Chains A and B, each alone.
Chain A
Amino acid sequence: MVLRSLSSLALVLAVLPLTGADTVKIALTGPFSGGSAPMGLSMRDGARLAIAEINAAGGIQVGKARLRIEVLERDDEAKNERGALIAQELSSMPDLAGVLGSVNTGVVMAGDKHFQEKGITKIITPAAGSQSMTQWSQAGVRDLSIFRFAAHDGIQSSMVVAEAQRRGFEKVALLFDSTNYGVSGRDDLVREIAAQGGKLKVVAAEKFNIGDKDMTAQLLKAKSGGAQAVLIWGIGPELAAVANGMAKLGLKVPLIGGWTLSMSNFIDNAGRNGNGTLMPQTFIEEPINPRVKAFIDNFHRTYKVTRMASPVSAAQGYDAVLIFAAAVRQAQSTDTHRIKEALEDLKEPVKGVIATWVHPYSRWDPNREETHEAFRKEQTVMGMVQDGRVVFGNPADRERLARSDKPVPPSAPSKVRKTR
């Protein structure tokens, strides 16, 4: 008990805001309240753990000094306009080394232009909407200070469509929320269905709004069209309303969708109706190897929980901080431009909890968004909701990841993603 209290105190002290020249100032942004909060808070808490570890070890060696990480936290409440205001405020700070975070694609789109204008290095995590990065390639930006650390929707939608095909389905319904994230997800799904041979027939494509609780109309369209699976893009509370609506209407078909189906407010609000739901995940909260076990145990102990609200966000927040710190170490500077250059050519492998990251990014090429995307399909597995937790959807993935504690290959893009 005393040890636990001391470790909590140590964590608080380690992430307390510091002032002075002997610090690297970074900002964590995301929704720490509202429907997206499970993702924002988990990302923040995962990042805090990594920061606490770095600070406890004395900080980042830059020249002769060891710099501790100083953290600024901003709650964007998942509101686009608030995200834009926060980005304006942060990008006006002369000594900010970088920004990590953002959960909602709309917030990313509203805010990141301010970071890009000032050349502030930003690692987006866990926002996965394709538009977060395609906005820059479409605009033909030659030099980009925005990176992403999340399995983008291009990867996820391809896995979702492949899963539906693997199960031999021919007719599917698409459900998506009316936000940038949902609409962008629908576009990705439609594109992937065409790209994978158009074997799936879309019998209904229905949207719903944030806050909607009654999905009867959308689901009846899916049911009357003979959908064999519902492919869905949205966030927790509305996803739960869909799962509950499916149970009510006796629509007993798989629910497959974006990674947000692992949010605690989907799992808790859907209850038994959520069992069997499938979604791509970059991290499953199962102690498959010692490194993952240590992270999970540390998280549970520090935050006094028995389950992470969003394991993907927590693990990505943790690894993103380690990668950023490695870039600072390589740049030997807290200058955000030099950190960006180091990120584009990271020489030191970074041993994270999701993987060991070797050269996760390369120099930005507007024709290949992968240059600023760290994740490939290999780091993403299919997760499944089972009795209040997310487990491996495919047991073979558990075996593969448990065995592989070795570095992932460098990020030479395996497949060119078309600019959209």
Chain B
Amino acid sequence: MDLRIIGQMAVSGALMGLVYALIAYGFQLTYATSRSLNFGQGELVMVSAFVALTFTDLGLPYGLMVPCALLFGALAGLAVERAAVRLALQQKSEGWIMLTIILGLFLLSASENLWGRDDRPFPTPIPSEAIRVLGIEVTPLELSVAVGALAVMGLIELFKRATLQGKAFEAVSADPEAAELMGISSRRTVMLSYGFSGAVAALAGILVSPITTVGPTMGAVLVLKAFSVAVVAGLDSGFGVVVVGMALGALESLASFYLGSGWREAPGLVLLITTLAARPYGLFGRAIIRKV
């Protein structure tokens, strides 16, 4: 067994796994405050990537395109909360499941009509020539995924821990009704979480598109993996999604090499089933004790 090959496969896979982790983190942000998820998160990644590409085509420099695309993602997240989640939460129904799925399908159709169905290259100033680290080839593009994903997750975690609004986030996450009694608007906090979640989706789109190209179906594959990562890690552990995302990416690559390329999806499935059987609240999740 060649250690260099194992290292190459593990590193390449783990770097890609950070994209799963970033999208999974978007799931966590909204689940923490509202116990709801945006099942159209993949489509949000895709639409944001197309919008970012359009900004670039219009001549916006990269440094300006990124904040504009993040702003678009945040606004799109807010729109999802307003259109598909708020009413269902007010009525304490699970309607948000269907509504977010439908909204995702709508975004898919709209994108196909607006931008077509072709995969398109995503220009980036980051060079794609590989560099060799300890005999392992990595590209600056892959490293940018890692740096960008970890940076934004770190910043949001810092926001949650160090600011008053961030602490409100934690309070609503722990007990929304108690938080309301303390004068914290849970509605505004849920909106904020959806805004963050949309911005995170946009960042995932910007980071991954130069590697994967931009196309209407790009979100579907990523979001399934990301959802597995969120469930396996536990829906309340930011650290967990990073570890599980990287592990899943590495396992997929290794399975693809050693078992054959047709077995690439197997580790995710095994990991999901095993975790749900042994720790239904996730590897890094906390079991909630409910008093009756």
Contacts of A224 in B (CB 8 A): 2, 5
Contact assessment for B119 and A216 in the assembled complex, using a CB-CB cutoff below 8 Å: no
The answer to whether A216 and B12 touch (CB under 8 A), given A224-B5, A244-B128, A250-B130, is yes
Most buried by A among B116, B257, B261: B261
A residues near B121, Cβ cutoff 8 Å: 268-269, 271
User: A17 — which chain B residues lie within 8 A by C-beta?
Assistant: none
Cα A236 to Cα B213 in complex, Å, equals 12
Residue of A with least CB distance to B257: A217
CB distance from A266 to the nearest CB of B (A): 10
Give the CA-CA distance A84 to B108 in the complex, in Å. Answer: 24
Counting CB contacts under 8 A, is A213 at the interface? Answer: yes
User: Which B residues are CB-close (under 8 A) to A247?
Assistant: 128-130
> B261 to A208, Cβ gap below 8 A?
yes
Please indicate the chain A residues that have their CB under 8 angstroms from the CB of B212 in the complex. 213
User: What's the least CB distance linking A357 to chain B, in Å?
Assistant: 32
Majority SS of interface residues in chain A?
helix
Using A34-B117, A237-B119, A247-B130 as known contacts, say yes or no to A217 and B139 having CB atoms under 8 A apart. no
A222 smallest CB distance to B (angstroms):
11
In the bound complex, do residue B5 and residue A213 qualify as a contact, i.e. CB atoms below 8 Å apart?
no
A33 touches B12 (CB 8 A): no
**Among A208, A209, A265, contact of B119 (Cβ-Cβ < 8 Å):** A265
Out of A218, A248, A265, name the residue touching B139 (CB < 8 Å).
Answer: A248
Contacting pair A211 B217 (CB below 8 A): yes
A47 to chain B, nearest CB (A): 20
Q: Cβ of A208: which chain B residues have Cβ within 8 Å of it?
A: 261
In contact, B12 and A213 (Cβ under 8 angstroms) = no
Q: When chains A and B are docked, how far (Å) is the Cα of A224 from the Cα of B1? A: 12
Task: Check A221 against B257 for contact (C-beta < 8 Å).
Answer: yes
Could you tell me if A249 and B213 are in contact, using CB atoms closer than 8 angstroms?
no
B-facing residues in A200-214 (Cβ within 8 Å): 206-209, 211-214
Given known A237-B213, A248-B139, contact A220–B5 (CB-CB < 8 A): yes
User: For residue A248, which residues in chain B have a CB less than 8 angstroms away from its CB?
Assistant: 128, 130, 137, 139
Inter-chain contacts of B132 with A (CB < 8 A): 250
| Complex CA distance for A244 and B253, rounded to whole angstroms | 17
B262 at the interface (CB under 8 A from A): yes
Q: Point out the residues of chain B lying under 8 angstroms from A237, CB to CB.
A: 119, 213, 215
A213 to B252, CA, bound (A): 13
Question: Do B261 and A206 touch across chains, with their CB atoms under 8 A apart?
Answer: yes
Contact among B118, B130, B211 for A249, CB-based, below 8 A:
B130
Whether B253 and A214, one on each chain, are in contact in the complex, defined by CB atoms closer than 8 angstroms, is yes
Pick from B137, B221, B261: contact of A218, CB below 8 A: B261
Residues 46-98 (chain A) with a chain B CB within 8 angstroms: 77
Chain A residues with Cβ below 8 Å from B261 are: 206-209, 212, 217-218
| Number of A residues with CB within 8 Å of any CB on chain B | 33
Q: What does DSSP make chain B's interface, helix, strand, loop or mixed?
A: mixed
Note all chain A residues with C-beta closer than 8 A to B128.
244, 247-248
B16 at the interface (CB under 8 A from A): yes
Counting CB contacts under 8 A, is B8 at the interface? yes
Per-residue contact bits, chain A 234-245, to B (CB 8 Å; 1 contact, 0 not): 001100100010
**Interface flags, A23-41, vs B, CB<8A=1, else 0:** 0000000000111011000
| Contact of A269 with B213 in the complex, beta carbons under 8 Å | yes
Asked whether, in the complex, the Cβ of A220 is within 8 Å of the Cβ of B211, the reply is no
Residue of A nearest to B138 (CB): A248
Residue B256 at the chain A interface, CB threshold 8 Å:
yes
- In angstroms, Cα B261 to Cα A206, docked, is 7
User: Does B9 lie within 8 Å of A220, measured CB to CB?
Assistant: yes
Q: How far is the CB of A50 from chain B (nearest CB, A)?
A: 25
Q: What residues of chain B lie closer than 8 Å to A33, measured between beta carbons? A: 112, 116-118
Mark each residue of chain B from 103 to 141: 1 if its CB lies under 8 Å from any CB of chain A, else 0: 000000000100011111100000011101000010100
A207 touching B262 in the complex, CB below 8 Å, given contacts A217-B257, A240-B213, A249-B137: yes
Neighbouring A residues of B211 by C-beta, 8 Å: 213
A123 to chain B minimum Cβ distance, whole angstroms, is 26
**Nearest CB of chain B from residue A207's CB, rounded to whole Å:** 6
Q: Is the CB of B130 within 8 A of A35?
A: no
- CB-CB under 8 A from B262, the residues of chain A are 178, 207
CB distance from A79 to the nearest CB of B (A): 12
Contact at B137–A250, with CB atoms within 8 Å?
yes
Report how far A249 CA is from B138 CA in the complex, Å: 8
Nearest CB of B to A28, in Å: 18
A281 to B119, CA, bound (A): 23
Question: Measured between alpha carbons, how far is A237 from B119 in the docked complex, in Å?
Answer: 7
- A34 CB contacts on chain B under 8 angstroms: 117-118
Chain A residues with Cβ below 8 Å from B256 are 216-218
A219 → B minimal CB distance (Å) = 10
- The listed residue (A211, A221, A249) touching B221 by CB distance below 8 A is A211
Chain B contacts for A240, CB-based, 8 A: 213
CB of A217 within 8 A of CB of B253, answer yes
A237 to B13, CA, bound (A): 20
Over the window 248-277 of chain A, the binary record of Cβ atoms lying under 8 Å from chain B Cβ atoms (1 yes, 0 no) is 111000000000000001001101000000
Shortest CB distance B47–A (Å): 18
CB B17 to nearest CB in A, in angstroms, measures: 11
What's the least CB distance linking A84 to chain B, in Å? 20
Residues of A within 8 A of B2 (CB): 224
Residue of A nearest to B119 (CB): A237
A220-B257 CB under 8 A given contacts A35-B118, A248-B130, A269-B119? yes
Interface residues of B in 253-267 (CB under 8 A from A): 253, 256-257, 260-262, 264
Q: How far is the CA of A34 from the CA of B218 in the complex (A)?
A: 12
**Measured between alpha carbons, how far is A272 from B150 in the docked complex, in Å?**
30
A212 vs B213: C-alpha distance in the bound complex, in angstroms? Answer: 11
CA gap between A265 and B119 in the complex, in Å: 7
* CB neighbors of A among B1-42 (8 A): 2, 5, 8-9, 12-13, 16
Residue pairs across A and B with Cβ atoms less than 8 A apart, 17 shown, are A33-B116, A33-B118, A35-B118, A207-B261, A211-B221, A213-B213, A214-B12, A214-B16, A216-B9, A216-B12, A218-B261, A237-B119, A247-B130, A248-B137, A265-B119, A268-B121, A271-B121
Residues of A within 8 A of B (CB): 33-35, 37-38, 77, 178, 206-209, 211-214, 216-218, 220-221, 224, 236-237, 240, 244, 247-250, 265, 268-269, 271
Query: Which 3 pairs across A and B sit closest by C-beta, in order of nearness?
Result: A217-B256, A33-B117, A217-B257
